[in-house]
Structure 1
């Protein structure tokens, strides 16, 4: 599949809400929650006021359509480690998953964060999520866990 990875344009910031919704892991047999779930304060930290100096976002585009996004920002979210470590979010529209785009987006973001002097990046992922394997291949390691989630960190330096 032909695609390109590029920085998000300011005019595209609103699509982060779509990708935030797409990032919600739905276990098999469960119904998708209503899209309004992304308006909850604990989820709004991922996208609200995006565009600050420590906010980074790359998108994957194919045929002039953005089909995936990876973004990182320092925030007090589920994967929070400390105030110097950005938390990472990534998602693709369902029909573009399992095609290598997510891995390419992840690798590009890790490079970008490394180039900008970050020492590590964190994320939170449901234990049942197939993406756990991708994160481990990218160099993420479990540093904490609870009943449902892993908190993972990738060292960049």
Structure 2
């Protein structure tokens, strides 16, 4: 499958709501939450007014002009927040495109961009039983601390 990684356009920022919902980890056998859950304040911090803050950066993966995945960072007080200079990461790939290397490619490109901009590290929060933990570790994220059912992970750039 051919896909392209590129910067997200300003006009595409509303799509982050869809990718935010896709980023919610739902264990097997558990009913997914209603899509309206993304409008809660603790989740809107990831997407509200995206592109208007200095440290907002987003990339997308595209197949045949269809956006199939997104990765984005901003400095925010979210679940993965560690300090006010470290961007927190969020990402998701539509289910039918998972396991094909798209997420890894998005992460690697974002890491390269943030490194070139002089950031020291990136943080994220992920549920311990989320299959994505292995992908994050594969690209170099390490567990900084454990909080209940989540890992706070970081990668030094």
Same fold per superposition (TM over 0.5): yes
SS at match of 2:118: coil
For 1:37-116, list aligned pairs within 5 A: 37-51=37-51, 52-116=53-117
Runs of 5+ consecutive residues of structure 2 not aligned to the other structure: none
Number of aligned residue pairs: give it. Answer: 156
- Distance, in Å, in 1 between the alignment partners of 2:31 and 2:117 is 39
C-alpha distance in 2 between matches for 1:146 and 1:86? 19
TM-score by length of 2: 0.98
For 1:52-102, what per-residue CA distance to the aligned partner results, in whole angstroms no more than 9, with x for missing partners? 221000000001100000000000000000000000011011001000000
Rounded to whole Å, the distance in 2 between the matches of 1:147 and 1:41 is 21
1:25 alignment partner in structure 2:
25
Query: Is 2:13 the partner of 1:16?
Result: no
- The gaps in structure 1 that reach 5 residues or longer are none
User: Counterparts of 1:108-127 in structure 2 under 5 Å?
Assistant: 108-127=109-128
Determine the C-alpha separation between the residues in 2 that align with 1:90 and 1:144: 20
Instruction: Kindly provide the CA deviation profile for residues 4-60 of structure 1, in whole angstroms up to 9, marking residues without a partner as x.
Output: 000001100000000000000001110110000000000000000100221000000
What is the root-mean-square deviation in Å for CA atoms of aligned residues? 0.5
How far apart are 1:146 and its partner, in Å? 1.7
Instruction: For 2:144 and 2:54, locate their aligned partners in 1 and report how far apart those are by CA, in whole Å.
Output: 27
TM superposition shift of 1:153: 0.4
Partner Cα distance (1:98, 1:10) in 2? 28
